[in-house]
Structure 1
């Protein structure tokens, strides 16, 4: 086999054998490369498939949990407030004291008087409760003041001639007690030390007080 015999020179036969051997080696190498390529392609597809199924979790999500994973506590239930019923005021006791809400107070005037005259005003106290009650009508607890249109004090019934008395009255339901009070027609102030003069013509307000009860304002016009 290794010593060819023939009519041709020996180098010709050796050259042919080398060519055949090279062709065989080339075929084997091609088959091997093809098999390797197929195996690589199959492994690469499997790796890509595995990579598509398992995506690595970002590092930030491994440290900070997502909002959906954080359990937020439910807000505490709001307690319902139950409105307490209003406390009813106790019924007036017959023969007890007349409180301010059991009486009305009114100052009555002639409406219009000349400057320098001495009109008489009336302090009217009425029991508007359903039971009789007692109210002190002492002179020291009664007062009428006069104010001008700007709200300045012009005169007060207790400024220069204060009086003292003790006069508890039992007022029947609906009863009205009227106390007269004369105005000297002059201005005054609480110390009665300022000169007293006739106020000028115009509109004035009169406001009465019986201890802690105050009346609505009444009008008086000096002409």
Structure 2
């Protein structure tokens, strides 16, 4: 190493027109700034490294397993990435409710000549006209039909076969058994499809069981006829009681026509 080189390179003493203290302070300030910048860069690098390390740590479920045991291998056909939903215990589900079913009653097996049950008979009422006038005496026909397939017998006498008149609000107004009770029995053998008819007349007056008095006339309106045989009832048959037509007005008598004049003699 030559002395000129030593004088040019290794000379660390500041040179300039200013005092040496100013040059040393400038060097110290530059060195401090450099140290601060290096410290900030090191802190940023440390934070990045710590974040990447924490993302690689096991999850809570994995960390709860014993550190010395490895997770069991998946079964054949099982995807370890798909989680199976938790099924509730079977005993927590409410038991199924049994649906009640109506009991099916088989039709009775009849022999020819047996008593006719209600299921093999049909009753209906017939009015002889759809409309009457207050004061008329309507005639009702009671019809009993064997709708079964076997001949059978049934009492259709006046003691058990009855006609009723009801108002539209289902108020009982009259029955043929109220004021004319009967003990008559009529055992009838019905062939399949055979009918028995009985006719009764209504006077248009109200009645009740045991026929209490006084009886009131039924006014104009719409009413229902019902026929009943024991516990077997017919469908309602409506009919009308109308007000009678007013009498015609009095017409004054006309004067007699004049007699013709006698013809002249000729």
**TM bracket, shorter-chain basis:** 0.5 to 0.7
Q: Say how many residue pairs are matched.
A: 151
Aligned partner of 1:199 among 218, 223, 237: 218
**Aligned twin of 2:184:** 165
* Structure 2 residue aligned with 1:108: 126
Q: What is the aligned partner in structure 2 of residue 99 from structure 1?
A: 117
Q: 1:148 to 1:91 in 2, by over 3 A?
A: same
Task: Give me the whole-angstrom Cα distance separating, in 2, the residues matched to 1:158 and 1:87.
Answer: 34
Alignment of 1:31-70 (within 5 A): 53=67
In the TM superposition, residue 86 of structure 1 has moved relative to its aligned partner by 5.4
Please identify, of 90-99 and 209-218, the stretch whose mean Cα deviation from structure 2 is larger: 90-99
Residues 210 and 74 of structure 1: CA distance in aligned 2, closer, same or farther (over 3 Å): closer
Unaligned stretches of 5+ in structure 2?
1-65, 69-87, 243-266
Give the counterpart of 1:149 among 168, 172, 175: 168
Q: Which residue of 1 aligns with 2:231?
A: 212
User: Which residue is equivalent to 1:222?
Assistant: 241
Q: Residues 134 and 182 (structure 1 numbering): CA distance in 2 closer, same or farther, change over 3 Å?
A: same
Under a length normalisation based on structure 1, what TM-score does the superposition of the two structures give?
Answer: 0.60
Equivalents in 1 of 2:194, 2:220: separation in Å? 36
Deviation at 1:111, TM superposition (A): 1.6
Map 1:129-144 → 2, pairs under 5 A:
129-144=148-163
Distance 1:190 1:130, change over 3 A: same
2:146 corresponds, among 127, 132, 145, to 127
After superposing on structure 2, the runs of 4+ consecutive aligned residues of structure 1 that deviate more than 2 Å are: 72-75, 85-92
Q: RCO higher in 1 or 2 (8 Å CA, sep ≥ 6)?
A: 1
Which of the two has greater helix per residue?
Answer: 1
Q: Secondary structure at the match of 2:180?
A: coil
* 186, 192, 195: which one aligns with 1:176: 195
Q: For each residue in 1:168-214, what CA deviation from the matched residue of structure 2 results, as whole angstroms up to 9, or x when unmatched?
A: 00000011111111112211111322321221111001111111211
Flag structure 1 segments of 5+ consecutive residues without an equivalent: 1-51, 55-71
- The TM-score with structure 2 as length reference comes to 0.51
Contact in 2 for aligned 1:141/1:211 (Cα 8 Å): yes
**Mapped partners of 1:179, 1:86: distance in 2:** 35
d(CA) in 1 for partners of 2:162 and 2:107? Answer: 30
- After superposition, what is the alpha-carbon deviation per residue over 1:22-60, rounded to whole angstroms, capped at 9, x for unaligned? xxxxxxxxxxxxxxxxxxxxxxxxxxxxxx958xxxxxx
SS at match of 1:101: helix
- Per-residue CA distance 1:61-120 (angstroms, 9 max, x = gap): xxxxxxxxxxx9976xx99x9x9x956434322111111010100011122111111121
3-state SS of the aligned residue for 1:208?
A: strand
Distance (Å, rounded) in 2 between the aligned partners of 1:132 and 1:169: 10
